[in-house]
Structure 1
Amino acid sequence: MTFSTTSHGSSAQAHLPNKVHLGEEATESREMGVAIPQKDDTLKAKPLAHFIAGGVGGMTAATLTSPLDVLKTRLQSDFYQSQLQALRASHPVRPAPLFISLPRSALVHFKETFQILHSIYSHEGPRALFKGLGPNLVGVVPARAINFYVYGNGKRILSNYFGYHDSMTTPWNIHLGAAAIAGIATGTATNPIWLIKTRLQLDKSNAESGKGGRQYKNSWDCIKQTVRHEGIRGLYKGLSASYLGVAESATQWVLYEQMKLYLARREAAKLADPKHVHTTWDDVELWGGRIAAAGAAKLFAAVATYPHEVVRTRLRQAPVVPVAGGKVQVKYTGLIQCFKVVAKEEGLAGLYGGLTPHLLRVVPSAAIMFGMYEVILRLFGTTS
């Protein structure tokens, strides 16, 4: 009989100390930070469980937060930024002291965000709130599968190579290295999918009501037009910004691992206390801590590295194709050039366009994804 736990421990761990003596081999799980008794390679025997759990978690989060994803993408584009600037120019705000202007600006930003969201629903219908969800869902499963698979195995390989055999003492730079490798692998493999999703969300038929027909009929048509006008390389527009975005995923993983380690040590301390009586509150605290850790890690990482999101979206925008033929017009030609153009035309604030809906989406999305991932793995009888 095999005993397993979740990555941060669970109520089942309260019984582990009494069962280790049954002659089963106790192995150290790097993913969990605790010793678990097991026979054979139980964790390796269920790779499909990790794939399904990561995919379902990602798809659930992507579906529930799709409207905010559409809004974020549009606010990151130069077209919607010009609209927003025109709206602000028509309603100038009187100068005020810093302690008044900052909270007022934040409230105005939130108000504009939800006004645009309501405008999309009113003028384009509820389906517009899920524009690009198809390729998004298609990309979520392989992206999450690749990311979790590469990160988990990369962490194990790096730990063995550098001689860290106790996960409770594994340094943060091991997590950083594994996260960077996972981010690069994921970005390279899934960039074409995210490019198609971005272009569908920015389709001018939805962006400009009543001004021409749709540029893309569907995802396949978008792929064909992209390859026809820009070649295969066109499917990898924004890849350099994705690589720059590895800093975000790496930061998130490192912070999450450190919070996870804190939760594991806290749980271990409770189990080591003979006077401690396990209650439902312990489970609530543990699972709540996991969800909060995922959300908090994503919040900090997203704010610290957000400009790359704007640049990546601009690089993925569809080029202007002249009706009578001719050379394709591309405004943003490279990573550095895009940073310079956005900063020059829109100021540094332009590099943070769409930050509010982005945070409203990614923070709960991270919590949902990691929460679903852990729950589904437990249903499969395995761990992360």
Structure 2
Amino acid sequence: MTDDIIEVDLDDPRFRIKPYQQMMASCTGALVTSIFVTPLDVVKIRLQAQQKAMLSNKCFLYCNGLMDHLCSCGNGRGPEWLRTNGKFNGTVDALVKIGKREGILSLWSGLSPTLVLAIPATIVYFVSYEQLRLFLKDNYNRRFVQDSLRKEQPFWIPVVAGGTARIGAATLVSPLELIRTKMQSQKLSYAEIRQALKTVIKYSGFSGLWMGLSSTLLRDVPFSAIYWFNYESLKKIFRNVQHTFTFNLIGGAVAGSIAAFCTIPFDVVKTHRQIEMGEKEIYSDKPGRTSSTFTIINRIYKQNGIRGLFTGLTPRLVKVAPACAIMIATFEHGKRFFQARNANEVLGLEPNVQILRYKYDNT
């Protein structure tokens, strides 16, 4: 005897997962993603930092998957890893040198403090996106769609929801990132961090707590808008195909790759600006503003040409594709898990009844 099956619309108001369920799904996604993609992000940032280190030996930017880390060199001779490994000649060369000379675990160094900030930021981002997307979709259908059984989602909804959610998440975590950077770089105790924050506010005002936010938004908001537009478009194009874990993996990888390629110059600018900001924060008692985006782009272009604006493109694509794939597939899988529970509760289904097919919408 075979189990009975039913078809469920993921956006059906009766079965929608609750915010706390979205939080659990996104938290799981962040943990799984960080473990898999951290080594690739380490390589990407080190290649970009290597370019900057040729010009400044004070500070370099280090990222291990989900968050950026500003590190001081201390002795003025450049980053320790650059002196140990020498110049990297590409993605594979960097992976081999780091693993061989620093130990394989160095590819996951700093993961714990990163997750402290990355998980809350990821939760805020994904929950905000889902809530805003559904809010805009419901309002649009109430006002412009006459057929109550037909649900539409215009292309602009994921663009607006994705960009807005990223602004909120980045703005929320920015002051916390500044505090963590100062504690790590200057080895401050929790008691001393209050004085450090007073110094920042004294010379830069309260807005100083969000130094570097503009460069983060310059990269992340377009990336988020492009990513969600492409991902939701793929779901709509293949709405008659079962949206399995594999489908979401492929969709996330494609959407993430396109967004990463379009925003790589902004990623390079963000790296350079954060390094410049870090040098001022770490080595000066009077932190100041960093160079403008146009100034940094002009400087990179003069020194390295157009190729300089695409530094780290290959490792960024190699990292972003699996990162987006794993994150969205895990998140969607979590959504389906809670969707099934909610449907079972609402419909009073027997244990042998399976929800086999998940529709995107009725368009």
Q: What amino acid is the match of 2:301?
A: A
**Alpha-carbon deviation of 1:56?**
1.1
8 Å CA contact 2:253, 2:321 repeated in 1: yes
Query: Could you tell me which residue of structure 1 aligns to residue 132 of structure 2?
Result: 154
Q: Distance in 2 between matches of 1:60 and 1:235?
A: 30
Q: Distance in 2 between matches of 1:366 and 1:222?
A: 38
Q: What amino acid is the match of 2:319?
A: R
Query: Could you tell me which residue of structure 1 aligns to residue 217 of structure 2?
Result: 243
Matched, 1:77 2:49: yes
Query: Could you tell me which residue of structure 1 aligns to residue 60 of structure 2?
Result: none
Matched, 1:131 2:116: no
Q: What amino acid is the match of 1:299?
A: S
Matched, 1:184 2:184: no
Q: Distance in 1 between matches of 2:189 and 2:222?
A: 29
8 Å CA contact 1:78, 1:314 repeated in 2: no
8 Å CA contact 1:226, 1:234 repeated in 2: no
Q: Distance in 2 between matches of 1:319 and 1:312?
A: 14
Q: 1:254 to 1:329 in 2, by over 3 A?
A: closer
Query: Could you tell me which residue of structure 1 aligns to residue 16 of structure 2?
Result: 43
Q: What amino acid is the match of 1:289?
A: F
**Alpha-carbon deviation of 1:135?**
3.4
**Alpha-carbon deviation of 1:220?**
7.0
8 Å CA contact 1:151, 1:179 repeated in 2: yes
Query: Could you tell me which residue of structure 1 aligns to residue 260 of structure 2?
Result: 302
Query: Could you tell me which residue of structure 2 aligns to residue 319 of structure 1?
Result: 279
8 Å CA contact 2:33, 2:326 repeated in 1: yes
Q: What amino acid is the match of 2:16?
A: L
**1:145-175 CA-partner distances (Å, limit 9, x unpaired):** 2222221221222234433557753210122
Secondary structure of 1:264's aligned partner:
coil
Q: Distance in 2 between matches of 1:180 and 1:321?
A: 29
Query: Could you tell me which residue of structure 1 aligns to residue 297 of structure 2?
Result: 339
Q: Distance in 2 between matches of 1:343 and 1:216?
A: 32
Q: Distance in 1 between matches of 2:331 and 2:261?
A: 24
Q: Distance in 2 between matches of 1:60 and 1:251?
A: 23
**Could you state the TM-score of these two structures normalised by the residue count of structure 2?**
0.68
Provide runs of 4+ in structure 1 moved above 6 Å: 218-226
Q: What amino acid is the match of 2:230?
A: L
Give 5+ residue unaligned stretches, structure 1.
1-11, 18-25, 84-109, 201-213, 268-284
Matched, 1:260 2:264: no
Query: Could you tell me which residue of structure 2 aligns to residue 204 of structure 1?
Result: none
Give 5+ residue unaligned stretches, structure 2.
56-87, 343-357
Q: Distance in 1 between matches of 2:272 and 2:259?
A: 21
**Alpha-carbon deviation of 1:250?**
0.6
**Could you state the TM-score of these two structures normalised by the residue count of structure 1?**
0.65
CA RMSD after TM alignment: 3.7
Q: What amino acid is the match of 2:254?
A: A
8 Å CA contact 2:42, 2:107 repeated in 1: yes
**1:328-369 CA-partner distances (Å, limit 9, x unpaired):** 687x42322222222222222112111221111111111111
Q: 1:129 to 1:145 in 2, by over 3 A?
A: same
Query: Could you tell me which residue of structure 1 aligns to residue 352 of structure 2?
Result: none
Query: Could you tell me which residue of structure 2 aligns to residue 170 of structure 1?
Result: 153
8 Å CA contact 2:48, 2:268 repeated in 1: yes
**1:126-159 CA-partner distances (Å, limit 9, x unpaired):** 3432233233312332222222222122122223
Q: 1:53 to 1:167 in 2, by over 3 A?
A: farther
**1:257-314 CA-partner distances (Å, limit 9, x unpaired):** 01111232345xxxxxxxxxxxxxxxxx843222101110000110011111111122
Matched, 1:144 2:117: no
Q: Distance in 2 between matches of 1:319 and 1:338?
A: 15
Percent of residue pairs identical:
27
